[in-house]
Amino acid sequence: MTDKQERLLNFILDFHKEYGYSPSIREMAQGMGVSSPSTIKAMLDRLEAKGMLTKSSGRARSLTAVKHEEDKGIPIIGRIVAGVPVMAEENIEGYIPVKEFLRNSNGGFFLIVDGYSMQDKGILPGDYVFIQPCKEISNGQIGAFRLNGEVTLKTFKRSEDGIFLLPANNDFQPIPVTNDDSFEVIGRYVMLLRFREQGYHF
């Protein structure tokens, strides 16, 4: 998306937010400082082709601008403890622009690791772990789990003795999941991002 296309998209978003409907081509031209309505129409056609705009056929002022969150990068959502579970912070703390490495993130997100319980798997405090949302996870996979309202990163184990969330550090104990617990699989661990002074490292 070019700078002019992004300006036009933002103009449409702001106009709709203020007035509750989309601007006309003439209003877009005025707002963009463009003299030719055909220039605006060509930009609209390109934005629509890129999936950044949708419009209803036969309806005036029916443009809907789509501001894809993934354009900013992959969101960072709070912290996840690799130790004992901790209440997740459900705010987006920022974005990491790594779409070139994750062509199809499918709603995935990064969590920041806090704790040493997964260190033997190479996962350390301050690392960013990419979590792919899912409802089920295979035995032996590392994932993000919500247990009794708290979130942790562990290896999933199901056996005849029940379900356990396993650490990768002998200083920590496995966490059993009982029938009395509220338990949910948030997603599976896909990759790790570690920042260095020179940039980030996978």
Q: Are residues 38 and 127 in the same domain?
A: no
Q: Are residues 84 and 183 in the same domain?
A: yes
Domain enclosing residue 159, as ranges: 70-201
- Structurally, the chain folds into a number of domains equal to 2
Looking at the fold, whether 83 and 61 belong to one and the same domain comes out as no
Catalytic one of 38, 105, 117, 138: 117
Q: What is the CATH number of the domain that holds 52?
A: 1.10.10.10
Domain edge (last residue) among 38, 67, 96: 67
Do 20 and 45 share a domain, yes or no? yes
Q: Exposed (0-12), middle (13-18) or buried (19+): which is 56, by Cβ within 10 Å?
A: exposed
- Written as tens digits, the pLDDT of the chain (202 aa) is 677 888 888 888 888 777 777 888 889 999 999 888 898 888 888 888 777 777 655 444 666 665 544 456 677 777 777 766 555 545 567 776 665 555 556 678 888 999 999 999 999 999 999 898 898 999 999 999 999 988 999 999 999 999 999 999 999 999 999 999 999 999 999 988 887 654 444 4
The pTM score is 0.57
CATH number where 150 lies? 2.10.109.10
The angle that helices 25-32 and 3-19 make with each other, rounded to 10 degrees, is 120
Is 154 a catalytic site residue? yes
**How high is the pLDDT of residue 103?**
54
Helix extents (H) in the chain: 3-19, 25-32, 37-49
Report pLDDT for 25: 87
In the prediction, which pLDDT does 58 show? 45
Pairwise CA distance, residues 183 & 172, whole Å: 20
Tell me, yes or no, if 57 is annotated catalytic.
no
Of 35, 154, 157, 159, which is the active-site residue?
154
Residue pair 46/58 in contact by the 8 Å Cβ criterion: no
Domain boundary among 67, 92, 117: 67
Same domain, 107 and 119: yes
The reported pLDDT for the residue numbered 94 is 73
